Structure 1
Amino acid sequence: MTTTGQAYDLIGDVHGCGATLAVLLERLGYRRDDGVYRHPERKVIFLGDLIDRGPRVRLALSIARSMVEAGEALIVMGNHEYNALTYCLPAHDGNTWLRPHTPRTTRVIQETLDQFADTPAEWDDYLAWFMTLPLCLELPDLRVVHACWDEDLVRRFLARRPEGNIDRAFLERTVRRDSFEHQVMDRLTRGVDVIMPDGIQIHSGDGFTRRSFRANFWAQSPQTYGDVVFQPDHLPAELDDHPLSEEEKARLPFYGPDERPLFIGHYWCEGIPALPAPNIACLDYSAVKYGRLVAYRFDGESRLDANRFVWLKVLSGRDAEKKSREFYR
């Protein structure tokens, strides 16, 4: 048991797989009571990215928000909630958006917007809720962030924003790439990307072409690209042994093995859930790509145990529709 006596079930990126989320909660022993999933002894921590891509965004948001507001769950902001805010809110001049409406940015959020097309006031209410979500959680026995725990940056951020959340002025400054606010939001919700040599691209499993790859932040003394790559899209073979430059090494934060357990999402892993480090668990297993929606049952252990993962293959078709109808009954 944790030092506070509170056990947690941490749940990775849901991405609109609301029906699967309901079934996962039931498998974990949660039951709906007065419209809220509750457990007699445990609480949930959502790792962000509730929205986009999946078929039941509204259901996912309804489940998570009702739990958070009833005190049955905690949550951190993901990069997709942040992207939604900047895509949907106007810039200070009132003539443009904080996030440009390009084909790429629109493609990411379109499924969510389509599902709220008939209920715009409901969507506006969720946007207001997103503004209240903290970027990180630091509890006595564990830490939670969507993508990357950069200790120096977290300390400076929390010194200014002790509750870990943002306001409209902070949000507006995040779109300036030279700002502290951008640095915080980008690092905590997106992590560290390493830009590949000119002319080399990855055709990613999510349909995008990228010139960079996602890097981990727990490798001790990394020397090559292969030491730090952390994503299911493989690097071109010739890059595994490509040396990291001193500048690239300096950009990589380091989360040491003696730090308290850390839970992250974001990295769309594949396969059977496994621990990338003894004190780090990634819970994003590509649910929206018909992968797995993953939870970790945390009871205060200082070294994590892969046997504590619980997961479901994502529901599709009739099973998902049936679960959705049950929820709204």
Structure 2
Amino acid sequence: MALASGLEGYDLIGDVHGCGQTLIRLLETLGYREDAGVYRHPARKVIFLGDLIDRGPSIRLALSVARRMVEAGAAHVVMGNHEANALAYCSRAPAGSDREWLREHTPRNNRIIGRTLEQFRDYPREWESTLDWFLRMPLFLELDGMRVVHACWDEALIETLRDDYPDGVIDRDFMIDSTRHGSLAHRALDRLTRGTQMALPEGVEIRSGDGYTRRSFRTHFWARAPRTYGDVVFQPDNLPLGLESRALSDAERERLVHYPESSPPLFVGHYWCKGVPALPRANIACLDYSAVKYGRLVAYRWDGESVLDGNRFVWVSVERQGLEA
């Protein structure tokens, strides 16, 4: 049965992170075929969940495939934290600011975006056009009874954001304001593209699998009455020994977000899941399965169902030799 849009359904695709050839394999597995430079399906559309860039071997290819589909009406896309980071990294701060760039050029930030800038080094105009496209990406989508956001659907924040940005598409003033901690722009961009995080106890840190030292951990947003750190942790790196059973304080619980079981189906990326794709809950699907870390590039084939079905995941594995090629 066709949806209100007239489509048979949508294919939602998780974080590509520059795995362009893998993206093409997944699209072809899903039945999309290239037509005049655009991958299309006769009855379906793709929704990309953000984080198209950084880390992978064919970032320009991944962006070209996704952008051509979006601009031809064969796909939608939401902004991920890596697109937001790129916009801030490449935008000079206003005159009189205490910084030169909206996102400071620290060794860590240089490393995150380094491969993207390297692959665009000889294509400066293309990169400028790409940054303009990033700014046109909405932070959230609601289509045919489902919701899409890169990291976390915060109902209160989104409803406030709609007052000035009804379609979720922000502007350069918003990006500038997002560097001011406590502003609506900062809270919205951080929450929707990066999710919720919880600080580790003082003196405790995680050496993550991607080589970074972290003093906080990512939390999920669907526990009804969480009591411990282990009830809310949602990331591939294990918590330091003993912290899984550490009780949440009242203040920590208040900072968490809860997405109700009665809310529409929600699709997110962002969280570097591992293993065989599975649903965290019947109305939530995470589609980031660490493609660029030799995991899986994952899609969910949604046909309008309010109760999601784990059998609707489709994926292609990323072989180590294929990613290095």
TM-score over 0.5 for the pair: yes
CA distance in 1, matches of 2:141, 2:88: 22
Are residues 1:205 and 2:209 paired? yes
CA distance in 2, matches of 1:51, 1:231: 20
Q: Does the Cα contact within 8 Å between 1:20 and 1:315 map onto a contact in 2?
A: no
Deviation at 1:237, TM superposition (A): 2.7
Alpha carbons of 1:319 and 1:178: their partners in 2 closer, same or farther (altered >3 Å)? closer
Residue matched to 1:235: 239
Residue matched to 2:228: 224
Quick one: which of 117, 125, 131 aligns to 2:129?
125
Deviating more after overlay: 71-80 vs 95-104: 95-104
The TM-score normalised by the length of structure 2 is 0.96
Alpha carbons of 1:318 and 1:161: their partners in 2 closer, same or farther (altered >3 Å)? closer
Quick one: which of 158, 165, 169 aligns to 1:165?
169
CA root-mean-square deviation: 1.3
Amino acid at match of 1:280: I
| Aligned counterparts, 1:28-67, within 5 A | 28-67=30-69
Amino acid at match of 2:28: E
Are residues 1:275 and 2:284 paired? no
| Aligned counterparts, 1:133-172, within 5 A | 133-172=137-176
Q: Does the Cα contact within 8 Å between 2:195 and 2:219 map onto a contact in 1?
A: yes
SS in 1 for 2:316: strand
Alpha carbons of 1:319 and 1:271: their partners in 2 closer, same or farther (altered >3 Å)? closer
Amino acid at match of 1:20: T
Residue matched to 2:116: 112
Q: Name stretches of at least 5 consecutive residues in structure 1 with no aligned partner.
A: 322-329
Deviating more after overlay: 85-94 vs 159-168: 85-94
Q: Does the Cα contact within 8 Å between 1:19 and 1:315 map onto a contact in 2?
A: no
SS in 1 for 2:231: helix
- Residues 67-90 of structure 1 show CA distances to partners (whole Å, capped at 9, x for unaligned) of 000000000000000000000111
Q: Does the Cα contact within 8 Å between 1:143 and 1:262 map onto a contact in 2?
A: yes
Amino acid at match of 1:164: G
Q: Does the Cα contact within 8 Å between 2:13 and 2:49 map onto a contact in 1?
A: yes
Residue matched to 2:85: 83
Residue matched to 1:294: 298
Are residues 1:103 and 2:102 paired? no
CA distance in 1, matches of 2:252, 2:2: 37
CA distance in 1, matches of 2:184, 2:322: 47
Deviation at 1:319, TM superposition (A): 8.5
Residue matched to 1:21: 23
- Residues 158-215 of structure 1 show CA distances to partners (whole Å, capped at 9, x for unaligned) of 1220111111101100011121100000000000000010111111111111011000
Amino acid at match of 2:192: L
Residue matched to 1:69: 71
CA distance in 1, matches of 2:285, 2:182: 31
- Residues 254-283 of structure 1 show CA distances to partners (whole Å, capped at 9, x for unaligned) of 101111100000000000000011100000
CA distance in 2, matches of 1:261, 1:141: 7
Alpha carbons of 1:318 and 1:252: their partners in 2 closer, same or farther (altered >3 Å)? closer
Q: Name stretches of at least 5 consecutive residues in structure 2 with no aligned partner.
A: none
Amino acid at match of 1:238: G
Deviation at 1:3, TM superposition (A): 3.8
SS in 1 for 2:145: coil
- Residues 224-249 of structure 1 show CA distances to partners (whole Å, capped at 9, x for unaligned) of 10000001111123111111111111
Are residues 1:264 and 2:268 paired? yes
Residue matched to 1:253: 257
CA distance in 2, matches of 1:98, 1:159: 24
Q: Does the Cα contact within 8 Å between 2:288 and 2:297 map onto a contact in 1?
A: yes
- Residues 6-46 of structure 1 show CA distances to partners (whole Å, capped at 9, x for unaligned) of 21000000000000000100000000000000000000000
State the number of aligned residues.
321
Deviation at 1:314, TM superposition (A): 1.6
Residue matched to 2:183: 179
Amino acid at match of 2:162: L
CA distance in 2, matches of 1:237, 1:135: 36
CA distance in 1, matches of 2:128, 2:151: 25
CA distance in 1, matches of 2:278, 2:29: 20
